[in-house]
Amino acid sequence: MNKLSYLFYRSILWLWDLFSLNLVLIIVSLLIKKVDAFHITEYHVFFAFTNLAWVASVHFTALYLSKNWLDFEIFFKRTFKCYLLALFFLLFFIFLYQYPFSRLYMVLVIIGFGSILVFNRVIFNLLIYSLRNKFKLQKNVVILGYNEISLGLLKYFKEESKFVNVAGCFEDRERVPNDPEFPIVGGIKDCMHFVIEHNVTEIYSTLAPEHFPDLYDLAKAAEKQFVHFKFVPDYKIFVNRNIYIDFVNNIPVLSLRNEPLEDTGSRIKKRLFDFIFSILVIVFVLSWLIPLMAILIKLSSKGPIFFMQMRSGKSNRPFKCIKFRSLRVNDEANVKQVTRNDSRVTWIGKIMRKTNIDELPQFFNVFMGDMSVVGPRPHMLKHTEDFSNQYKQYMIRHFVKPGITGWAQVNGYRGEITDNKLLQKRIEFDIWYMENWTLWLDLRIILLTIFLSIKGDRNAF
């Protein structure tokens, strides 16, 4: 299927989902007699915002732009994430709008749209499978070479890609051990005859051209038959880890890690989300929480309400981190970590630290741009110096802004660092977050943080 076909079918599905949403809104309005949604202004606003919430969720999750959108399982999971994000936006709107919408109306809209999305995905999947032969969605490919790369390709095509059929593999038999999982149908020279006979559309070569100079002639012969010839280089020869490829003016550039937040658009999305989220917390939570905590902190011990400490930010630039003071005023605050049953913690401090309330003033740091809502937790300057000497990958976490909460924290790696293994696991989770960032991941971490704050975290003290 060419790019225009993909664009056409994606557009049809996007419009059909939007049509389905409005169809549900109209049908529910007609079914519930006690709500005349067609003549009440507040329900007109609800109609409009529901559409806006779905369109925004589609944008943030890139629902129809996924390379694997024809894979039912992957596309269904993306749809579910998009639906949950739209539901979050909708519930947040209802909370802020403060109009007594009919509960039955809301429940029927939410369940109805969720059900019709499932129905749409099942029908679309059946349609794709019924038409894939007609439109040649499933393609025949062959693999050249027996090695770790070719085995990985074969496994992926067989288990993950439902629209690729491996017609056969080619390698000189004296180079290959007895491997029943690797279907060799001939030597390298037999490839083109097999390709023409079995309507193969792509050839994946995992062989190095410098060792097999005939590959270039084979590639030219394939193109004459309108067969795509693809070289799959093994970069692990040079770098023993995963690498990522980008292009600058058609020049391939290799990097050691994928960093979504290096993209300007992604940084703008994250900053906009942080800015809006921090304003909402400051206005609706901190506006009344700060006076209340000020009284309790003053009653618990002498000293200021806020504790401000220099911590390491993005690119290791120090910034002043704001917290509610949870310790008695002491001379070791800037060098010594808080330990379990630490005598410096006040009675209100124990509650704040257990529920993460002491971190909430950091939304002012987020508002000012020093921090993000989600990211690696910022450490004291002294600890940054010490940890960077202990673990060589430690400074990588400073490629992004520090966060109020993070992927390491919701996975249990928070609090006192007592040994190198704990430090290493925390860094691994922080780096994984950097390399896999999405707005959906940020929302997931925020929800997990709220859940752990209510449930209680054994490492919070």
Same domain (yes/no): 123, 151: no
CATH, residue 192: 3.40.50.720
pLDDT at 93 exceeding the cut of 70: yes
Q: How would residue 461 be classed by pLDDT, with cut points 50, 70 and 90?
A: very low
Same domain (yes/no): 117, 143: no
Give residue 2's pLDDT: 44
Closest CA to 410 of 432, 379, 381, 385: 432
Structure tokens at 454: 């209510």
Q: What percent of the chain has pLDDT over 70?
A: 82
pLDDT at 281 exceeding the cut of 60: yes
Distance CA 179, CA 143 (A): 15
Q: Tens digit of pLDDT for each residue in 98-133?
A: 888 888 888 999 999 999 998 888 887 777 666 555
| 154 and 143 Cβ atoms separated by less than 8 Å | yes
For the chain, give the longest Cα–Cα distance.
86
Indicate whether this model's pTM tops 0.95: no
Structure tokens at 323: 């917290």
Distance CA 121, CA 130 (A): 14
- The residue ranking higher by pLDDT, 338 or 310, is 310
Q: How would residue 1 be classed by pLDDT, with cut points 50, 70 and 90?
A: very low
Q: Tens digit of pLDDT for each residue in 186-232?
A: 888 889 999 998 888 899 998 888 788 888 889 888 888 888 888 88
Q: Tens digit of pLDDT for each residue in 430-452?
A: 989 998 899 999 999 999 998 88
E-strand ranges in 4-155 read 139-144
Same domain (yes/no): 176, 308: no
Query: What is the SS3 assignment for 42?
Result: helix
Give residue 338's pLDDT: 72
pLDDT at 288 exceeding the cut of 90: yes
pLDDT at 136 exceeding the cut of 80: no
As for how many domains the chain has, the answer is 3
Highest mean pLDDT among 151-155, 262-266, 373-377: 373-377
Domain boundary among 131, 163, 191: 131
Same domain (yes/no): 293, 423: yes
Same domain (yes/no): 127, 143: no
Give residue 315's pLDDT: 85
β-partners of residue 320 are 310
- The residue ranking higher by pLDDT, 157 or 299, is 299
Q: Can you tell me the mean pLDDT for 311-330?
A: 90
Alpha carbon 109 to its chain's center: 28
Same domain (yes/no): 302, 380: yes
Average pLDDT, rounded, for the chain: 82
Same domain (yes/no): 299, 441: yes
Same domain (yes/no): 45, 194: no
Q: Can you tell me the mean pLDDT for 16-31?
A: 88
Q: Tens digit of pLDDT for each residue in 37-70?
A: 666 788 888 889 999 999 999 888 888 776 555 5
Same domain (yes/no): 157, 53: no
- The residue ranking higher by pLDDT, 242 or 287, is 287
What's the order of all strands across the beta sheet hosting 139-144?
A: 184-186, 164-170, 139-144, 202-205, 228-231
pLDDT at 312 exceeding the cut of 70: yes
Query: What is the SS3 assignment for 367?
Result: helix
Strands 251-255, 306-312: pairing is unpaired
pLDDT at 460 exceeding the cut of 60: no
For residue 119, the enclosing domain spans 3-131
pLDDT at 91 exceeding the cut of 70: yes
Distance CA 134, CA 130 (A): 8
Structure tokens at 146: 């027996």
Asked if residue 417 belongs to a domain, the reply is: yes
Domain boundary among 82, 103, 131: 131
| 295 and 301 Cβ atoms separated by less than 8 Å | no
Q: Can you tell me the mean pLDDT for 366-377?
A: 94
Q: Can you tell me the mean pLDDT for 144-169?
A: 80
Asked if residue 250 belongs to a domain, the reply is: no
Segment holding 374, helix H or strand E: strand 372-374
Asked if residue 244 belongs to a domain, the reply is: no
Same domain (yes/no): 291, 234: no
Domain boundary among 115, 131, 147: 131
Same domain (yes/no): 98, 166: no
Query: What is the SS3 assignment for 179?
Result: coil
**Which position has the token pair 């704050």?**
453
Give residue 135's pLDDT: 47
Same domain (yes/no): 272, 398: yes
